[in-house]
Amino acid sequence: MASSRKVIELFYDVVSPYSWLGFEVMCRYRNVWNIDLKLRPAFLGGIMQGSGNKPPGLVPNKFLYMTTDLHRLAQYFQVPISPPADPFEAMFEKGSLSAMRFVAAVQEREVGGDKQVEQVSRELWMRIWSQDKDITQPASLSEVPECTQVTELEFKASLHSSSVSCFSHAFGFPLAVCHVNGKAEVFFGSDRFELIADCIGEKWMGPQPTAAKL
């Protein structure tokens, strides 16, 4: 008898480049591992504040390390991360509240999976973390191909729901919640894929699983 598919929830925010790494890898493994991947867009700023955590950008030594770290990780994971000219402004002064409200509202409208929210999320990451574009202005969001008739009321309701659902677990993103045998196992960061694989009884084959199978 075939084993039941495991459910993995991935909580993320497009303001976080580490979330982008986790997002792309989990999307690559969605059809490799025996899982149902549930994308959970949420607002990192609220999670950080609620948990009392401090972003790496506010710790000078961590911020310097992050610059080098992201360059290495972009190459390893094959994700086109190219930090904006002023990462501090992009992450902490402008933030991602309006963008994440938009993503959550798109997901609220979507029927039959997360294809559209995946495309929208990736487009926003590309804009902030590869093309150095502003994602805070309505005019910028309107350039996203999947932007449809989404109201401000939908923004607020959808994002609030996503954020509250993971609040008890979270202190940062990306956050993967693996549901196995009625138990939720929580993994933080973009460097826990081997442990996630072990948790769900699957095999980690590196950042490019399709290439590894050839």
Residues with a known catalytic role: 16
* Phi, then psi, of 46 in degrees rounded to 5: -70, -40
Distance CA(156)–CA(46), nearest Å, equals: 13
Distance CA(13)–CA(171), nearest Å, equals: 13
Upper half-sphere CA count for residue 141 (Cβ side, 13 Å): 22
Count of beta carbons in the 10 Å neighbourhood of residue 136:
15
Q: 188 with 33: CB under 8 angstroms?
A: no
Instruction: Quote the radius of gyration of the chain (alpha carbons, Å).
Output: 17
Q: Report which secondary-structure segment, H or E, holds 180.
A: strand 175-180
Distance CA(132)–CA(152), nearest Å, equals: 25
